[in-house]
Amino acid sequence: MHQSIVGYHQDEENHWVAELACGHNQHVRHKPPWVVRHWVTTEMGRAAMLGTQLDCKLCDQAVLR
């Protein structure tokens, strides 16, 4: 289920996490793990991505139940 990015924070390992409109959080720094998403490593890149839709895995799991 697609949700808008409403903010960001870093987790305890300093990986970037997108805060989604549904209230869930999703790691965005690596996907696949060996590729760095350059848009998330800069403040300007993160600001430009606000409102972008990401697929929320937790919402998808809830719909399947």
User: What is the per-residue burial (b if ≥16 Cβ within 10 Å, else e) of 10-42?
Assistant: eeeeeebbbbbebebbbebbeeeeeeeeeebee
Tell me what pLDDT residue 9 has. 92
Domain count, the chain: 1
Question: Two tokens at 50?
Answer: 């606000």
Tell me what pLDDT residue 57 has. 86
Domain that holds residue 56: 2-64
Tell me what pLDDT residue 14 has. 85
Per-residue pLDDT of the chain (65 residues; tens, 9 = 90+): 899 999 999 999 888 889 999 999 988 765 555 556 677 778 888 888 899 888 888 888 887 76
